[in-house]
Structure 1
Amino acid sequence: MSLDLTPVHRNLHTKVTFLGLEFEDLVLVLALAALMNLLAHFAGSSAQVFGMPLNVFMEFVVPLLAVPFLILFKYGKPKGYLTDLVRSILAPKAWCALERDSQLVQPYIADEEE
């Protein structure tokens, strides 16, 4: 009886990219398209940009322009940069340097007398 062999792919840890953008970046572009769709409906039906209706421009052209901007913005940056950037912006900030550190249990400088 022969042993069945299954090929194992060695690139399971590689990130999937499309047009040089990660999944999180494409989700951002889709969210931008949805936001532009909502904003276009508030402007009215008679507004036009470059001869096309504003809702078409906002829904399709703005997200399409966002893709090259993101590609240029992320050039040379590590994977997951945009996610880390958003997390650092939304993270709570330490506003006072005099506040005691809750994770520091030992002093940095030990007294000579001890």
Structure 2
Amino acid sequence: MSLDLTPVHRNLHTKVTFLGLEFEDLILVLALAALMNLLAHFAGNDAHFLGMPLNIFMEFVVPVLAVPFLILFKYGRPRGYLTDLVRSFFSPRAWCALERDSQQAEAYVVEEE
């Protein structure tokens, strides 16, 4: 009796994207929508932008405009670029030890003859 083989097509290296954005980018858009929703409550009822009430613009239009902006911003950049960019803003700076110190006026090591 021969063994029946069934091909299973799995690729663990495929990029999971939605609208050309990664999962982390969509979380950023959702966070922006929540922030704009909070800020929209502080806008007055008589405030308008481009003929629509400012709170409607902030709640819906700003997050919708963020998606094409992120697509254009990330074009040609590697996967996880936005996460690395945000992480680089909050990580401590590591400076080069070979760089000349601009604040030190005297020589640190004095060579005696």
Q: Distance in 2 between matches of 1:6 and 1:46?
A: 65
In structure 2, the gaps of 5 or more residues are 99-113
| Residue number in structure 2 paired with 1:93 | 93
Give the TM-score of the pair, scaled to structure 2.
0.75
Q: Percent identity?
A: 86
- CA separation in 2, counterparts of 1:76 and 1:2? 49
Q: Following the alignment from structure 1 to structure 2, what is the Cα–Cα distance between the partners of residues 86 and 21?
A: 16
Aligned to 1:58: 58
What CA RMSD, in Å, does the superposition of the two structures yield over aligned residues? 2.2
What's the offset of the Cα at 1:60? 0.8
Indicate the residue corresponding to 2:41 in structure 1. Answer: 41
Measured in 2, the distance between the counterparts of 1:3 and 1:56 equals 62
Q: How does 1:1-114 map to 2 (within 5 A)?
A: 7-94=7-94, 97=97
Give the Cα–Cα distance (whole angstroms) in 2 for the partners of residues 25 and 96 of structure 1: 32
Which residue identity does 2:11 align to in structure 1?
A: N
Q: Runs of at least 4 residues of structure 1 off by over 3 A?
A: 1-7, 94-98
TM-score by length of 1: 0.74
| Aligned residues between the structures | 98
List alignment gaps of at least 5 residues for structure 1: 99-114
Take 1:54 and 1:37, find their aligned partners in 2: how far apart are those partners? 11
**Alpha-carbon distance between aligned partners in 1 of 2:60 and 2:39, rounded to the nearest angstrom:** 13
Distance 1:39 1:6, change over 3 A: farther
Cα offsets for 1:18-56 (capped at 9, x unmatched): 111111101101110110111111122221111111111
CA distance in 2, matches of 1:53, 1:24: 30
Moved more, 47-56 or 8-17: 8-17
Secondary structure of 2:14 counterpart: coil
> CA distance change for structure 1 residues 90 and 3 in 2, over 3 Å: closer, same or farther?
same
